[in-house]
Amino acid sequence: MEQDSVWLGGLRQPVRLLMLASTGALALLYSWLVISAMISEDAIGMHEMIRPTGRPLVWATLTAFGASILFSSLYLSDFRGAIEIEPHGFFDILSLITSRMAMILTALIVIVMFYEVVSRYVFSRPTLWANELSLWIAAFVFLFAGQYAMQQRSHIRIYVIYDIMPRWMQKTADVLSVLLIVGFTFALVWGNYADAQRRFLRLETFGTAWDPPIPGIVKPVILLIIILVTLQAVSNLIADWNKKPEHHSPLDEIDETEIENIKKTLGE
């Protein structure tokens, strides 16, 4: 049975259609690139995919790829997992969207590494780009996962002392924690903005045979995501301010839904 909409509402179906359309366009474009590689000596390869200037087909493929990731993330973020915290507000929704991007990109890493293994050990034709592409994608997965962990309150927290505090002291500790995060973010952005801007404007590359612009893209994104994580922390503080005190135990870590699914699987 289809779950209730988390935030898209009546836009769920149009977003789903856009997801299917962009994914289908990407599949067609990729198929054409594969066929061209088999029949033409001047085919577009991975070297050209990160150098799209003057190549309309590359621009179209990259646009379809970006649209597919975006609309898939929007659509999947409209479903809430059984153990996920219910989102409240803009930044919670944004974190859900980026978390779905991280899920899709993780699957993409698996596909890339599978391709490399088959190419290297079955056909004895290792690639020059698989390892670097995996590192590039993994950087985004790591950053998006941090933002999602903050939204879900699943980052490392020590409750031994926190649980015995009165509520006013818990709120004080929460404010202090957020202020430390804000201070860290301010110092990080202040000290690295100029360097990130310089790397981005010249699209600094990795200095390898494939030579992707990993430093030029990842460095600015690090600053952007750390700002979003900080905004998410502030949003959490506001959302949790009037909540009743919570008490934690090791039993909280048990995923009852997952246990029930395992029992059903074993029963079948």
Read off the pLDDT of residues 147-180 as tens digits, 9 standing for 90 and up.
999 999 887 777 888 888 899 999 999 999 999 9
Model pTM?
A: 0.89
Query: Mean pLDDT over residues 117-139, rounded?
Result: 93
Q: Print the SS3 string covering 118-173.
A: HHHHCCCCCCCCHHHHHHHHHHHHHHHHHHHHHHCCCCCCCHHHHCCCCHHHHHHH
Least confident of 117-121, 124-128, 156-160, 231-235: 156-160
> Alpha-carbon distance 204 to 104, whole Å?
26
**pLDDT at residue 32 tops 50:** yes
Tell me 9's DSSP state. G
Q: How many CB atoms lie within 10 A of CB 171?
A: 16
Query: Mean pLDDT over residues 9-34, rounded?
Result: 95
> Alpha-carbon distance 236 to 82, whole Å?
20
**pLDDT at residue 2 tops 60:** no
pLDDT in tens, 198-220: 999 999 999 999 999 999 999 99
Residues with Cβ within 8 Å of 153's Cβ and at least 6 positions away in sequence, in order, are 85, 236
Confidence (pLDDT) at 83:
82
The pLDDT confidence band at residue 1, using thresholds 50, 70 and 90, is: very low
Q: Are 60 and 29 in contact (CB under 8 A)?
A: yes
Number of DSSP helices (H) and strands (E) in the chain, helices first:
9, 0
The pLDDT confidence band at residue 222, using thresholds 50, 70 and 90, is: very high
